[in-house]
Structure 1
Amino acid sequence: MTAPSTGKPMRADARRNYERIVTTAQQAFAELGPEVALEEIARRAGVGIGTLYRHFPSREVLIEAVYRTNIEQLSQRARELLEIHSGADAFEYWLREQVAWVMANRVLATTLKAGMDHDTPVFQLCRTSIMDAATILIDAARDAGAIRSDVEPRDLLRFGHGIGVACEATPEAAERMLAITLDGLRTEKR
């Protein structure tokens, strides 16, 4: 891992601290909201406040790091699924994981996105990363003849987000909504 601000490789202990702070911040933001005291995040991460500020000079930089980490993980999951499943199955599994992720993290993600400048390189990187993930999944499913030819990457993201938001308070409806959506996207009906 490299330091985002300098591009230089991090020492092993610095990398561990960075990762621990990001993980802890994600949990603290989810539990206490994005205005949680940075001192509380440092305490929970087991680092001094100076260490936190060395990696994240402001709350905004920490919010960006947490958001970027979330999006990178979801995007990487698309690639992992394609390595072990057919294009059609990877597409379906990722949509299901996206819905679950939205249901579990929507409030946090919305709050983090709202606290970011959408013109920043980090936000643009996240947008590109998630769009690339959706594109490779759609291309693989389309190449397998499994989905309609008019499905676009943004459609996949909208379906996942929409179902996740719609089912946040009624998670038992998510499977039915996913089944209906997937059936409508397929080239052949099951």
Structure 2
Amino acid sequence: MTGQRSDALRNYQRILAVAEDEIAESGASASLERVARLAGVGSGTVRRHFPTRQALLEAVFRERVQALCARAGELSDDGDSRAALLSWLADLVDYSVSARGFADTLAYEPPTEAASPASCGTALETAAATLLRHAQRDGAVKPDVTSHDLLTAAVGIALATEHHQTPARQAARLLAMFVEGLSPQGRPSTSPGRA
């Protein structure tokens, strides 16, 4: 029995490593059959470990999502709640633009009550919610903005600029335009940047 578990773990790790490379090259539409072939396993083995394409995408990006969530936790103690929120949002957009397939992973997840609490989108919305609440409490962000709005904007910006000649520059420009809309009327806005 132990041998079977260690074989399953090796298969899982091999599939995940191959999937990371394939998604980096082909994006979220990477072929699961090619992942199986390159990992040296059958497609049934891939589906046992990752029953859906979304499950595989979630696994590939889980560590980065955890890092973004940890970053939100660090920033939540920042004295400037608006700068903290904008810094985290800029980090999210930067990563979404640079990691092919990541924005697609989040785009799979419209907000529903049935969403898995362990999903990438749910984890990021929860991380953003604390930063957003602080900024709203301080009057730095409009009260009707939701953490889902922020995630949707970041995903939209990343997807819209994915094939642009200079995606990072275009994404930063669009993020700055979005940030203008976050500001309560009469409050000067600041560009997103590092806290």
Q: Give the TM-score of the pair, scaled to structure 2.
A: 0.63
2:118 is paired with a residue of what secondary structure?
helix
Instruction: Name 2:188's counterpart in structure 1.
Output: 189
Instruction: State whether structure 2 residue 61 is matched by structure 1 residue 64.
Output: no
Distance 2:35 2:17 in 1: 15
Which ranges of structure 2 fall in alignment gaps of 5 or more residues?
Answer: 190-195
Residue identity (%): 26
Matched residue of 2:144: which SS? Answer: coil
Structure 1 14/95 Cα, relative in aligned 2: closer, same or farther at 3 Å?
Answer: same
Deviations 1:144-173 (A, max 9, x none): 432121211111011111211222233232
In structure 2, distance between residues paired with 1:160 and 1:94: 11
| Deviation of 1:107 (Å) | 4.2
Q: 1:150 corresponds to which residue?
A: 144
Residue type of the alignment partner of 2:118: L
Is there any run of 5+ residues in structure 1 with no aligned partner, and where?
Answer: 1-9, 43-48
| Alignment RMSD (CA, Å) | 3.9
Assess if the C-alpha contact under 8 Å between 1:142 and 1:149 holds in 2. Answer: yes
What secondary structure does 1:150 align onto? coil
Whether 1:176 and 2:173 are equivalent positions in the alignment is yes
Contact 2:84/2:131, CA 8 A, preserved across alignment: yes
Q: CA offsets, 1:48-102, max 9 Å, x none?
A: x49x94x862553575144245256325413324314623233112211222233
Distance in structure 2 (CA, Å) of the matches to 1:158 and 1:176 = 16
Q: What is the one-letter code of the residue matched to 1:151? A: V
Distance of 2:154 and 2:181 partners within structure 1 = 14
User: Cα gap change, 1:63/1:19 in structure 2, threshold over 3 Å: closer, same or farther?
Assistant: farther
Corresponding position of 2:118: 125
Equivalence for 1:138: 132
Output the amino acid matched with 1:38: A
Distance change in 2, residues 1:26/1:88 (3 Å) = same
Paired with 1:40 and 1:122, the residues of 2 have a C-alpha distance of 31
Query: Separation in 1 of the partners of 2:171 and 2:11?
Result: 37
Count of aligned pairs: 169
2:36 corresponds to which letter in structure 1? L
- Give the structure 1 partner of residue 160 of structure 2: 166
Partner residue of 2:39? Answer: 41
CA distance in 1, matches of 2:181, 2:125: 21
Instruction: Give the counterpart letter for 1:57 in structure 2.
Output: R
